[in-house]
Every structure is written in C-alpha cells, then in structure tokens.
Chain A
Amino acid sequence: MTASNGYSVEVEKLVKRFGDFTAVDRISFQTRSGEVFGFLGPNGSGKSTTIRILCGLLHPTSGRAIVAGYDVVESPELIRRNIGYMSQKFSLYADLTVFENLRFYAGMYGVPAAELRGRIDWALEMAGLRGRESSLTGTLAGGWKQRLALGCAVLHRPPILFLDEPTSGVDPLSRRLFWELIQQMSSEGVTIFVTTHYMDEAEYCNRLALMNGGKLIALGTPTELKLGSIQGSLLLLECDRLGDAIERVRRLDNVRDVAVFGNALHLVVSDAAIAPTIRAALESYGILVTGLRVIRPSLEDAFVALTTRHGADDASELSP
C-alpha cells in the first residue's frame, strides 16, 4: 500500500491557485507510514486546500503529490481506495440511522460481505454507539457524530487517513477520546494527516507543518519547532497595567517581541541576563512587577514567532 521508499505522502512544490489567489504556494514535505502529521495554521492558510488536493478533490495547479504511491492527478481512483477522509462537517446523513450510515459507507467503499458485520461492530464499539444502532444520526450529540464519522471513514481499513479539523465544535472530553483513537490507529501503522488550530492537539502529533498564507513556514517535531522558533530567550512577565507595560517594554533595547498570553506577557529577548534591567525600567514607571522569569516556549509561542517572522520576511521581499 505504501510506496517503496517508506513515505505514504510525498508533496513537491505543490501550487493551487483560484484565479489570482494562491491558496497553496510551492509546498513540499513527506510523511512516513504510521506518523501522525499535523497541519497547523490560521484559517485560510491553505491547510484544507492541501488536504483536498491529496484526496483528489481538487486538481493542483502545478507541482506533484504522491499518496499511497499513486499520483493525485493520474490515478485519483486508486488513491480513493487507500484513504479515509473526514471533513470538518462530519458528513453523515441525519435522516439515516447509525447503522444505515455505516452500512451505506461500507457499501461505497466496497467492504467485502464477509467482513461487513465485523467492521460495523468495530465501528460501533469505537464510537461508543453500541445499542444505539437504530437511532437517527441527526439526534446524536456532537462527540458521537464525530466518532461515527470517523468510523464511517475507516470502515475499509485505509492505510492513510485525512482528518480536516476533526474536533471543531466538540466538547473537550470527546476531543480527548478522539485523540486516543487517533493514537491507537497510528500505533497500528495508519498514517494520519490532521489539520487543527488547537495547540494542545498539535502536541499529540509526531511532526507538525506550519502553514501561513499558503506557504509552509516550518516543519518539525513539536519540540524542534518550540526550540528552533525563538532566537534568544523567552521571559514570562507578570505585572499590573498590561497595556502600559507593553508600550514601555517595546521601547527597550534587546526586547525583540512582546505578546499577551492570558493576563501576562511573553517577551522574546536576546539574552535572559537583561531581566533585572527590564524589571527596573518598568518599576521606574510605577508598574508593579509580580513575576519575571525564563520559561520554555510553548507551541503557541513558536506559532506566533514563526508567523510574525514569516510576515516580516514577506514585507522585506516586497520592498525594493
């Protein structure tokens, strides 16, 4: 099922334009079998477009994409037998029962009659819907719908699974349950390609690709991204009058970036040794500093740092 070189998805200089708008801009990456590969980025950054190209739903403008060893342009039908896809909307038929939805998708994927009962039982078990086979799908709560949609998408045991924001609109407990299922499938060798904008979910991924404005701006394990994104040190500043503090801190030398995180500030500085200087400067303006210490950057810090740096790069490219 997987290409001989061990990659389940290979993308090379992929471009997708809609008229003048470039949704995906020359991105390249590979995913290994059994990997949980996360696609992270703001809305409109090109994540869903990329997934749709990989599923054969959209034609790429240029570049190449190989999924399960097949080219997306040349043999989309062969790819469809080897992938599962779950869109943001958990596309189920509300007027069909749980069983009827599973039976329908099993039919569409050509699950053999001998395996049918077993696969449907497995999906019911996984989704926690045993005993509710004859409930109308429209009456289910979000978490159940989501797990049923996942069940429908993997009835044919695809080696590659594409999940486009699978947890949007689902309660935290269901999200956790869902990710346990993802981890389990990954341990069974299924490659999972998932888009999200929840940072805590991104932590579950083996590798992350960060997208912004159609471009792939960073790629690596969550730890690599956190460490590599910030040049210098990260300080957590707790103080009163946050608005004033931001203004004052920005004007200091050696402070590269300031961002609000909850009711505190994260400062990117060239050297952690300047912390006392910062404290002194703020106190001289009458701002009460209750805490100032070095912290390890979170994914969110990395995300903010990488997207702003990327934005600045763009600006410098444009200036003559």
Chain B
Amino acid sequence: MIERLRQILLKEFIHLFRDKQARFSLIVPPLLQMLIFGYAASYEVNRVSTAVLDFDHSQESRDFLERISASSRFQVREVLQNESQIPSLLDHRRVVLVLQIQPGFAELLRKGQTAPIQAVLDGTDSNTALIAVEYINQIAARFAQDYQLQLADRTRPTLATFAPNIELQERPWYNANLESRWFFVPGVIGTLVLVSVLQLTSFAVVREREIGTLEQLMVTPISPTELIVGKTLPFLIVGLANVVFVGILGSYWFEVPFRGNILVLLLGTTLFLSSALGVGLLISTVSQTQQQAFAISFFYITPAIMLSGFGYPIGSMPTTLQYLTNLDPLRFFLVVLRGTFIKGVGLSVLWPQMIAMAILGAATLTIATLRFHKTLD
C-alpha cells in the first residue's frame, strides 16, 4: 500500500521535473503572468486624453481648464475651435473626454447662478468614463467653492469667515493609498494557481489514457484511492509552491504587504486546491484527449474567475448569481488571500471561508473518486 503510493508519487515527480520543457512550464509561466497582471490589472484611471473647447474665453473658464490640465488624472491633448471636430476625435480614440464651455459661463457665475460645463465622453469603456466624470465633479466642486469664497471675500468680507463647509477626511484602512494593485495581486495568485493545478491534474490522467498506460495501471492491483492520491498529491505540492513563489514575487516586486500568518494562507491554499484537484480529476474522467481536457477546463475556469470577485464585486451581481458564487471555491480563496495579505487577519475571521472550501473540496473529490472507476466502460 505505502510502497505503491511511494512508487506512483516518484513516477509523477519524474514526469514533472525530468523534462526541461516540463520544468520550464512549471515555473516560468506563473511568474511571468504575475508580472504582466501585476502591471496591467488596475482600476486606476490616470492621464485621460482630453480635448477642450472654450467658447467663453473668460478669466473664469481659463481658470477652470487650467485646473483640469494641472491634474495628473487628465492630459489635455487638443484645444478645439469648434464642435464639428469632436466626433472624429472620439471615433479615432484620440481623446476619451471633451470638455466644452459655452459663452456666458463667467457671466452666470458673476450673477451668482449655476454655470454649465459639458463633458462629452467615450462611453465604450464605461468604467473609465464613470471614473473620469467623478474626477471632473471633484474639480468642479472645488472650483465652485473657491469661487464662492473669493466672491464673498470681495463683496462681504465679514460674512466670508462664516462660510459653512464640510470636509471629508478619508481614512482607508488596510490600504491607505487605495492602491488597486493591492487588490489585484492576491487575486492573481488565486487564479494562477487554479489554472495551473486544474490543467496539470486533468492532463496527467488524460495523458496516461492517451498513451495507454492508464489501461495498464488498471490491470494492476492498485486501488482507485491509491491511484487518485498518487495522481493528485504531487499537484497539491506544486500548487502550494506556486502560491509561495508567486506570493514572494507579489510582495517584494509589487510591494504588496503580507501581514497575516503564512500557515493560515497555506491551510487555505490546501483546502482550495482540494477542489481544484477534484475538478481536474472530474475533467479527466470525461475527456479522452488532452485537447478535450483543455477545452473543458477552459469552460470551468472562465466562470470560476468571473464569479469569484476577482475583478467584479459579488455584491453588485444579481441575487441568483450571488447564490451561485457559493459554489465557486475561488471566491472563498480570494477572501483568504486578501485577508492574509492586506488585512493580516487570521482563522478567527477566515474560518467560514475555510469551512466552505473544505466542504466544496470534499464534495468534488468524492464525486471524482466515485466516477473514477478502474474500468474502461
């Protein structure tokens, strides 16, 4: 029993590490993907290409547009003379935003009335457009406030000191500078390890089916449990090593803090990987070729990432979908990853996620074991 397990583990590790190409594909792609994701995945909107069209040519309109161009959020690329230039600029994505100030802007302000500014946006990328509008709003509010104060100062200096105001003092916990990279890097670790372990597991079984050694193994006295443990344990170890290596890269290269306990993270990873291994085995029971296994694992991975809260908040999904996310082990693993990296919380906070992953892992591994017969039909 132990000898059989020892031999099958030994064999799997030879498969994993003997071939130069296999060694390479085990180490380099996850690190490379971490680097690419770490730089590319971000919600921050900076240097929005902007065009301005000022019909007012007043002190006030110039002052406003100056504030826009002084902000690092916007980059004024074009100064326009008439409206007919706008469509072509947006069509060609030369700019994402056009700010237009109508004649009479300053006059309205001086009369103490509301003065409009028009923002024309490329709504194709709705997220960027929304955030850009938010930034313009902030600049406009600030401008209006300063203008009111100046006006009061000049006309009724005594009253100016009494101008009531509210100031928001932002204190974001855990991520004081609201770096979106801190949100993404732990998420990337979760998705990377899911993809690599799922495919390694399903391919390892299907490859043996293709070359015929699975049939040969089935006529030996090996028990299904021995075979399954032998076929999954190596990839559990690979997955844990992946999390450690990619995690080190994330915290040293991208300076994402790791504030929690590494043992809590490794426990969470083990529970999460039991589901990934179970799904990988299930895929191998329904695939005859590695191409099939690849296609089926793709069908699992895409929704698993979509529903995990990796990029889209689960709270904003329709209720039915929110229920469905409870079947996605990645959803719970991301909470554990972000909890241990950014928040530094431990089991006293993360236990519900741990239990959920344990249940999902036990369920998938049981189904996979039941489906994994030692027969060909």
Residues of A within 8 A of B (CB): 18, 52, 55-59, 76-77, 80-81, 83, 85, 87-89, 91-96, 100, 103-105, 107-110, 152
B309-363 interface (Cβ within 8 A of A):
none
Q: Which of A56, A88, A93, A96 contacts B219 (CB 8 A)?
A: A56
B221/A108 in contact, CB under 8 A:
yes
Chain A residues near B216 (CB-CB < 8 A) = 85, 87, 91, 152
Q: Which of B18, B215, B221 contacts A91 (CB 8 A)?
A: B215
A136 closest partner in B (C-beta): B18
How many chain B residues touch A (CB < 8 A): the figure is 27
Binds A, one of B1-9, B237-245, B291-299: B1-9
CB neighbours of A57 from chain B (8 A): 215, 218-219, 375-376
State whether A103 touches B7 (Cβ < 8 A): yes
A83 B19 Cβ-Cβ under 8 A: no
CA distance A80 to B375 in the complex (A): 12
10 A-B pairs closest in CB distance: A107-B7, A89-B212, A91-B216, A108-B220, A91-B212, A85-B219, A91-B213, A80-B221, A55-B219, A57-B376
User: Count of A-B contacts with CB under 8 A?
Assistant: 74
- Chain A residue numbers with a CB within 8 Å of B218 are 57
Contact B212 A87 (CB under 8 A): yes
Complex contacts, B8 vs chain A, CB 8 Å = 104, 107-108
Tell me whether A89 and B211 are in contact in the complex, defined as CB-CB below 8 angstroms, given that A57-B218, A59-B375, A110-B3 are known contacts: yes
Residues of A within 8 A of B18 (CB): 95
Closest to A153 in B: B216
Question: Are A83 and B219 within 8 A (Cβ)?
Answer: yes
* Residues of B close to A58: CB separation below 8 A: 375-377
**Given A80-B219, A85-B219, A110-B3, also A52-B376 (CB < 8 A):** yes
**Distance between Cα atoms of A96 and B220 in the complex (Å):** 18
Assembled-state Cα–Cα distance A152/B14 (Å): 18
**Bound-complex Cα distance A38 to B192 (A):** 53
CA distance A57 to B3 in the complex (A): 24
**Cα–Cα distance between A146 and B336 once the two chains are bound (Å):** 51
Q: Which residues of A contact B14 (CB under 8 A)?
A: 95-96, 100
The interface residues of chain B lying within 8 Å CB-to-CB of A76 are 374
Q: Counting CB contacts under 8 A, is B94 at the interface?
A: no
Indicate if the CB atoms of B376 and A77 lie closer than 8 Å: no
Pull 23 A–B residue pairs with CB atoms less than 8 Å apart, ordered by A: A56-B219, A57-B218, A57-B376, A77-B221, A80-B220, A80-B221, A81-B221, A85-B216, A87-B212, A87-B215, A87-B216, A88-B212, A93-B15, A95-B14, A96-B11, A96-B14, A104-B11, A105-B220, A108-B7, A108-B8, A108-B220, A109-B220, A110-B221
**Which residues from chain B contact A95 at a C-beta distance below 8 Å?**
14-15, 18-19
Contacts of A94 in B (CB 8 A): 211
Listed residue (A91, A92, A94, A152) with the most chain B CB atoms within 10 angstroms of its CB: A91
In contact, B3 and A107 (Cβ under 8 angstroms): yes
B221 A100 Cβ-Cβ under 8 A: no
B217 within 8 A of A: yes
Residues on A with beta carbons closer than 8 Å to the beta carbon of B4 = 107-108, 110
A138 to chain B, nearest CB (A): 10
Q: At the interface, yes or no: B222 with Cβ under 8 Å from chain A?
A: yes
Contact indicator A56/B375 (Cβ below 8 Å): yes
Given A56-B374, A80-B219, A109-B220, output 5 extra A-B contacts at Cβ < 8 Å. Answer: A57-B219, A59-B375, A87-B215, A104-B10, A107-B7
Residue of B nearest to A79 (CB): B219
A77 to B218, CA, bound (A): 10
Report the minimal beta-carbon distance from B186 to chain A, rounded to whole angstroms.
Answer: 35
How far is the CB of B23 from the nearest CB of chain A, in Å?
12
Beta-carbon nearest neighbor of B219 in chain A: A85
Closest to B376 in A: A57
For A109, the chain B residues whose CB sits under 8 A away are: 220-221
